[in-house]
Amino acid sequence: MLNYSLLYPINNEKRNSIRLDGMWRFKIDFEDGSDYSKGLCDYDYIPVPASFQDFYTDKRIREFAGNVWYENMVFVPSYMKGDKVYIRFSAATHRAKVYLNGEEVFENEGGFLPFLVDITDKARYGEENQLVVMVNNELTETNIPCGRTITLKNGAKMNKPYFDFYNYSGLQRSVYLISVPKSEIFDINLSYKVFDKKAEITYSIITKGIGEINLTLLDGDGNIASKADCCEGVINLDNPHLWDVGSPYLYKLIVEFKDGEALLDKYSLDIGIREVKIKGESILLNNRPVYLKGFGKHEDSDIVGRGFNIGVMKRDFELMKWIGANSFRTSHYPYDEEIYRMADREGILIIDEVPAVGLFESLVNFLDAGTGKGAKSFFSKPTTPMLLKAHLKAVEEMIARDKNHPSVIAWSLLNEPESTDPNSVPYFEKLFERSHELDPQKRPRTFAMESNSSPSRCLCHHLSDFISLNRYYGWYIMGGYEISDAKEKFIKEMDEWKSLDLNKPFVFTEYGADTLSSLNKLPSVMWSNEYQREVLEMLHSVFDSYSFVKGEQIWNFADFQTTEGLMRVDGNKKGVFTRQRQPKEVAYLLKERWENLPRDYKG
Ligand code: BDP
């Protein structure tokens, strides 16, 4: 159980939240092991939020593996005295130690979810407080995402990710100073049932302290739609205005925690009334089938790397709407909270993925995954119990943080793990059970499967509520002039899935081809715009011929940065858009296709 609340920070008459973003003092520990907990010396200034890697001209900084230190002076106002006071880190990648006024106050493992540092009894109120954070970005096999750290002959450490995106790190999301009342609204659980002209909202409010709960539900015009005065119960709504894909109607839920007339705490959040279900081969939203069209994405842009960039977020949603997409997967880690809030407002569906990538020991997993090479019984190592612990922690934090977003329709619990290892089965079972237990809405769960996880070899697909396939026929498998064989091989695999008669929807969570936006070639060659089009046309024709295929999320929304290497020319170029968010030629093909596919395509 989390001992702090992951409700999004808000301001109201009972709660304060101050963003500490801006220029922070910054120091890289090239000596490896220095202690700056009492304050940095010879420091630089760096923006927060941002990845630290792409600002500098020195390659040793970009490739740095180890500890980096941040420092900021935080004024804690006297009006916060008497409340619980926290520093809320929206993420610190991949682990952090936090010091307040020279004293260690917290340690966190995991780089993509928030953690709260309780400074109630340690803060100096009405004064500036020295906040120092040590962030470590070394990859291990005991934390997710997985990788290892090596030491070069010159003594420098180097990260070796088992995954295909740059190991950007640092304070990549906002940091807040927040205060909440000691008698606190700690958590809000909501689930929905949608009937013809009726909806049922089941709620349970978790509090710290003694008092009564008052709930008010406001419609989009601010009129009262319903009221309740219990900490758990059911609200029945007649003629509800549902939240739906492309039609994102939001109600506001106001929760008041009271002791008689005295207001102890108050929290309000925008909610969308909608129900997600898997029925047979269909994904149902509000009891109507929906076909997923969209992308696997990354948080990745020029200069700030994986740092949250509000402008890039806006542009990405505009492009998704322009192209006719209705969904994306937060490959390969939970994204910044603002992105889910935006998806709630835009009516875009999210498959929310925990940072469990690289659970397949290979430095070129995108190649080895397809061939079975590199498979080394990943889940049979002495480190597996520790890995599982970190994994379950991330699942718990992700669900606690994201469960109230109407946009989140499913949980992806792993990306391309070695699900052919017999020891993967008990490991996966624990993840699937735990996520079900934690989610009041019991959303569908899945994991994205690489080609080695074939119909005959994958030992875990029975756990998925819908099957997610990452497939690169026409690229890693028989690319170029062999594309006709790739198509046959793909059909053969799909026929094998069909013969298993799983009675579940299938979604392609990855497919695509690397493409240089500047390269046109007639006839096509691999990497050209023409070839990207051919691959998509071939794959789409196969998707269209299987009734159980209920979604396509192309890899990737935009070109993104990876580790340098023979296979990557300044990053992965499978984007439909460039890294600068301009369309490649294939964007027009997808726009034409997606705008014409009905919402309930194939039912
Ligand atoms: C898959 C991975 C993804 C890679 C992609 C690729 O899930 O992270 O970027 O292939 O190779 O293996 O482009």
Q: Model confidence at 372, in pLDDT bands (50, 70, 90)? A: low
pLDDT confidence of residue 365: 62
pLDDT confidence of residue 222: 98
pLDDT confidence of residue 70: 98
Q: Which of 396, 416, 493, 552 is catalytic?
A: 416
Q: Does residue 346 have an active-site annotation?
A: no
C-alpha 512 – ligand 1 centre gap (Å): 10
Q: pLDDT at residue 417 above 90?
A: yes
Average pLDDT, the chain: 96
As a whole-number percent, the residues of the chain with pLDDT over 90 amount to: 96
Q: pLDDT at residue 159 above 70?
A: yes
Does the C-beta of 555 come closer than 6 Å to ligand 1? yes
Give the Å distances, CA to CA, from 116 to 12, 76, 82, 84, 408: 19, 16, 18, 11, 23
> Could you read off the pLDDT of 435-454 as tens digits, one per residue?
999 999 999 999 999 999 99
Does the C-beta of 572 come closer than 6 Å to ligand 1? yes
Does the C-beta of 475 come closer than 6 Å to ligand 1? no
> Could you read off the pLDDT of 509-526 as tens digits, one per residue?
999 999 999 999 999 999
Q: pLDDT at residue 364 above 70?
A: no
From 416, 450, 568, mutation site for ligand 1 pocket: most ligand atoms within 8 A of C-beta: 416
Query: Do residues 573 and 527 make contact, with C-beta atoms less than 8 angstroms apart?
Result: yes
Does the C-beta of 328 come closer than 6 Å to ligand 1? no
d(CA 379, CA 447) in angstroms, rounded, equals 16
C-alpha 10 – ligand 1 centre gap (Å): 37
Q: Model confidence at 361, in pLDDT bands (50, 70, 90)? A: confident
Does the bond joining 444 to the residue before it have cis omega, within 30 degrees of 0? no
Q: Does residue 416 have an active-site annotation?
A: yes
> Could you read off the pLDDT of 291-313 as tens digits, one per residue?
999 999 999 999 999 999 999 99
Supply the residue whose CA is at minimum distance from atom 11 of ligand 1: 366
d(CA 424, CA 326) in angstroms, rounded, equals 32
Supply the residue whose CA is at minimum distance from atom 10 of ligand 1: 366
From 353, 366, 453, mutation site for ligand 1 pocket: most ligand atoms within 8 A of C-beta: 366
Q: pLDDT at residue 359 above 80?
A: yes
Q: pLDDT at residue 374 above 60?
A: no
> Could you read off the pLDDT of 248-297 as tens digits, one per residue?
999 999 999 999 999 999 999 999 999 999 999 999 999 999 999 999 99
Does the C-beta of 384 come closer than 6 Å to ligand 1? no
Give the Å distances, CA to CA, from 324 to 285, 515, 569: 18, 21, 29
- Taking residues 230-246, report their average pLDDT: 97
C-alpha 164 – ligand 1 centre gap (Å): 6
| Helix 384-402, helix 424-438: angle, nearest 10 | 20
C-alpha 556 – ligand 1 centre gap (Å): 9
H runs (alpha helix) in 335-482: 337-346, 365-371, 384-402, 424-438
From 572, 573, 576, mutation site for ligand 1 pocket: most ligand atoms within 8 A of C-beta: 572
Phi first, then psi, for residue 238 (nearest 5°) are -90, 150
Q: pLDDT at residue 2 above 60?
A: yes
Phi first, then psi, for residue 124 (nearest 5°) are -100, 110
Does the C-beta of 369 come closer than 6 Å to ligand 1? yes
Q: pLDDT at residue 242 above 80?
A: yes
Supply the residue whose CA is at minimum distance from atom 8 of ligand 1: 164
C-alpha 92 – ligand 1 centre gap (Å): 24
**Is the full-model pTM beyond 0.85?**
yes
Does the C-beta of 99 come closer than 6 Å to ligand 1? no
Q: pLDDT at residue 533 above 80?
A: yes
- Taking residues 457-485, report their average pLDDT: 97
Q: Which atom of ligand 1 is nearest to the CA of 416?
A: 7
pLDDT confidence of residue 277: 97
Which DSSP string do the residues of 59-83 spell out, in sequence order?
HHHHT--SEEEEEEEEEE-GGGTTS
Does the C-beta of 510 come closer than 6 Å to ligand 1? yes
CA angle, 137 as apex, 135 and 143 as ends, to 5°? 110
pLDDT confidence of residue 66: 98
pLDDT confidence of residue 376: 67
Q: pLDDT at residue 68 above 90?
A: yes
- Taking residues 150-176, report their average pLDDT: 97
Supply the residue whose CA is at minimum distance from atom 3 of ligand 1: 164
Task: Report the SS3 class of residue 44.
Answer: strand
Supply the residue whose CA is at minimum distance from atom 4 of ligand 1: 164
C-alpha 439 – ligand 1 centre gap (Å): 28
Q: Which of 361, 397, 418, 510 is catalytic?
A: 510
pLDDT confidence of residue 473: 97
C-alpha 366 – ligand 1 centre gap (Å): 5
C-alpha 234 – ligand 1 centre gap (Å): 43
Q: pLDDT at residue 373 above 80?
A: no
d(CA 291, CA 595) in angstroms, rounded, equals 12
pLDDT confidence of residue 362: 63
| Helix 310-323, helix 586-596: angle, nearest 10 | 60
| Helix 529-544, helix 483-500: angle, nearest 10 | 30
C-alpha 310 – ligand 1 centre gap (Å): 25
Count of all residues that appear for the chain in the document? 603
Query: Do residues 396 and 115 make contact, with C-beta atoms less than 8 angstroms apart?
Result: no
> Could you read off the pLDDT of 555-588 as tens digits, one per residue?
999 999 999 999 999 999 999 999 999 999 999 9
- Taking residues 183-202, report their average pLDDT: 98
pLDDT confidence of residue 128: 98
pLDDT confidence of residue 360: 86
> Could you read off the pLDDT of 34-47 as tens digits, one per residue?
999 999 999 999 99
> In the block, which residue shows the tokens 């609200």?
235
Does the C-beta of 470 come closer than 6 Å to ligand 1? yes
Query: Do residues 250 and 208 make contact, with C-beta atoms less than 8 angstroms apart?
Result: no
d(CA 215, CA 254) in angstroms, rounded, equals 6
Does the C-beta of 453 come closer than 6 Å to ligand 1? no
d(CA 505, CA 283) in angstroms, rounded, equals 7
- Taking residues 316-338, report their average pLDDT: 98
Q: Which atom of ligand 1 is nearest to the CA of 476?
A: 11
pLDDT confidence of residue 1: 82
516 CA to centre of own chain: 27
Give the tokens for residue 310: 């509000």
From 470, 562, 574, mutation site for ligand 1 pocket: most ligand atoms within 8 A of C-beta: 470
pLDDT confidence of residue 206: 98
